[in-house]
Amino acid sequence: MSPTEPRVIRLLMELRRQGIADTAVLSAIERTPRDMFVAEPFLDQAYENTALPIGCGQTVSQPLVVGLMTQALAVGDRMKVLEVGTGSGYQSAVLALLCRRLYSVERYKPLLAQAEDRFRRLRLHNITCRLGDGSRGWPEQAPFDRIMVTAAAPDVPPALVEQLKPDGIMVLPLGDSAGICQELVRITKTPDGIDIQPFLPVRFVPLVEGLPEE
Ligand code: SAH
C-alpha cells in the first residue's frame, strides 16, 4: 500500500482531536479515498473536513460527521447493515470495510450508478445497492444488525424500526427538512420499543418519500 498522503494524515488528526477514538473507524476512513467520491471541481477539497455537493442537489457529509455516525453505530465484522441514502457512496465505502454485508438504498438513479461504479473500482464486493425509497427499508433482506440513515426525517420511519434486530442500533438525523433544527440520534431497539439518544446537532438534506420524476 502507498504511504498515507499528508492531507489524509492531517484530516485523521483533526478527526481524532474532534472525538473519533475508535481505531477501526479511523482506519476505514484512512483506507477510503474520498477524492474518488467528489466531483472534479471539488477535488482540491476532498480531504478537508467539509461537506461537498455531489449532484442532484445532494451533498456528501463532512468527514467528521461520517466518523461520528460510524462510531456511534458500533459496527462489527459479522454484521448485516442497511444504509438509507447511498449518495456518493462515501459513507457506504467506510461502512463496507467494517461490516460483513452492506445494503444501501438511493432514490436518485444517476447518483446510484456513479456510486456502484466507485464500489466496483474499489473492489468493495460486499455492497448491494438498489434504487428505491429507503424509508421503507429493504424488507427482503431484513432484519439488520445496524441501520444508518444519511438524510433527515421529522420522525423515525416505522419500517426501519421493524427491520432492526432486537438490541440493534440505528443512527439517523432527526428534525425538520429546512435543516434549522436537526439532531443526530442513536436508537437502540429494546423489548418495549426504542431508546433514543441525541448526540450531535447537524444539518442534513431531507429524507424524501417516493422516487424523483424522470
Ligand atoms: N451517504 C451519502 C450522503 C448523501 S446525502 C454520502 O456519503 O455521499 C443523502 C442521500 O439520501 C441523497 O443522495 C438523497 O438522494 C438520499 N435520499 C433522500 N431520501 C431518500 C429516500 N427516501 N430513500 C433513499 N435515499 C434517499
pLDDT (tens digit, 9 = 90+) per residue, 23-54?
999 999 999 999 999 999 999 999 999 999 99
pTM of the model: 0.97
Decide if 73 contacts 169 (C-beta within 8 A): yes
Question: In the chain, what are the domain boundaries?
Answer: 5-202
Decide if 109 contacts 56 (C-beta within 8 A): no
Ligand 1 midpoint to CA 104 (Å): 10
DSSP state of 206: B
pLDDT (tens digit, 9 = 90+) per residue, 147-174?
999 999 999 999 999 999 999 999 999 9
Choose which CATH entry (3.40.50.1110, 3.30.70.1060, 1.25.40.10, 3.40.50.150) describes domain 5-202. Answer: 3.40.50.150
Residue 71 three-state SS = helix
Query: Of the residues 2, 27, 61, 104, which is catalytic?
Result: 61
DSSP state of 4: P
pLDDT (tens digit, 9 = 90+) per residue, 70-95?
999 999 999 999 999 999 999 999 99
pLDDT at 176: 79
Task: Look up 61 and say whether it is catalytic.
Answer: yes
Does 150 sit in the ligand 1 pocket, CB within 6 Å?
yes
Ligand 1 midpoint to CA 22 (Å): 25
Q: Which atom of ligand 1 is nearest to the CA of 85?
A: 11
pLDDT (tens digit, 9 = 90+) per residue, 13-29?
999 999 999 999 999 99
Does 8 sit in the ligand 1 pocket, CB within 6 Å?
no
Average pLDDT, the chain: 95
Ligand 1 midpoint to CA 64 (Å): 18
